[in-house]
Amino acid sequence: METKYIAIFFIIMLTFNRLRLARLSATFKEKKKGEISKRWTYFLLFILYVAIIFGSILENCLLVETLNIVISSVGLIAYVIGLVGRNKAIKTLGKYWSTHIEVRDGQHIVQEGLYKYVRHPGYLSLIIETLSIPLMLNAYYSFLGVIFTCIPAVLIRAKFEDMEMEKKIGKKFSAYKMKTGAFIPKKLLVLKIPTLKKKHPPKTS
């Protein structure tokens, strides 16, 4: 692909990530330290994220001759949606947000904003974001790489986080977990199937 498209891609990535860093900086000022568990999950996700970016660029340079603008546009829209979702999740969590699985003393269950509908809007946004990167560059092998590496890693991390929250917060989190889906609102998962009333035979005297 032409160098100018790679340059545009980098400008988009740098611009939106700069906005994210500004949000993170504001959040860290209010942050209180808590107990961190499964620290390795952060480094795993970071390595996979970087690998997807550079893998997509490399694949694009070596294999993509013509950029499909429609697919790239879909990828760009998804990328923006992912970034907006993550920023909203970070803003909603405020001082409770962390790059690690971290539960602080006196932490309560955040159920406002996107957390009213799903337990892990930040991770859902991360999945959307990582899927969008290879789409922007028409890097379909890298797209498969996201499906088989990044997404399982995010799901594992979310599972560990649920376990830690349930361990530290207890029944309140269990109740929240019962009524709220991890990545998809439970209302969308429940199919309302009409029940047929049984017809009883008429009584005979």
The pTM assigned to this predicted structure is 0.83
With a CB cutoff of 8 Å and minimum separation 6, the contacts of 102 are 33, 34, 35, 36, 37
60 exposed, middle or buried (CB, 10 Å; 0-12, 13-18, 19+)? buried
Work out whether strand 35-37 and strand 101-103 pair parallel, antiparallel, or are unpaired: antiparallel
Question: Which helix (H) or strand (E) is 173 found in, with range?
Answer: helix 171-179
Q: All domains of the chain, ordered by start, with CATH?
A: 3-189 (1.20.120.1630)
3-state percent helix, strand, coil for the chain, nearest multiple of 5: 70, 5, 25
* Inter-CA distances, 14 with 4, 19, 73, 74, 107, Å: 15, 9, 18, 19, 33
- pLDDT tens track of the chain, all 205 residues? 555 666 666 666 666 666 666 656 555 555 567 788 999 999 999 999 989 988 998 898 888 888 898 998 999 899 989 988 988 998 898 888 888 899 887 788 999 999 999 999 999 999 999 999 999 989 999 999 999 999 999 999 999 999 999 998 889 999 999 999 999 998 876 654 454 455 555 555 4
- Residue 48, pLDDT score: 95
DSSP-derived letter for residue 196 is P
Closest-CA residue to 164 (of 39, 12, 21, 29): 39
DSSP-derived letter for residue 64 is -
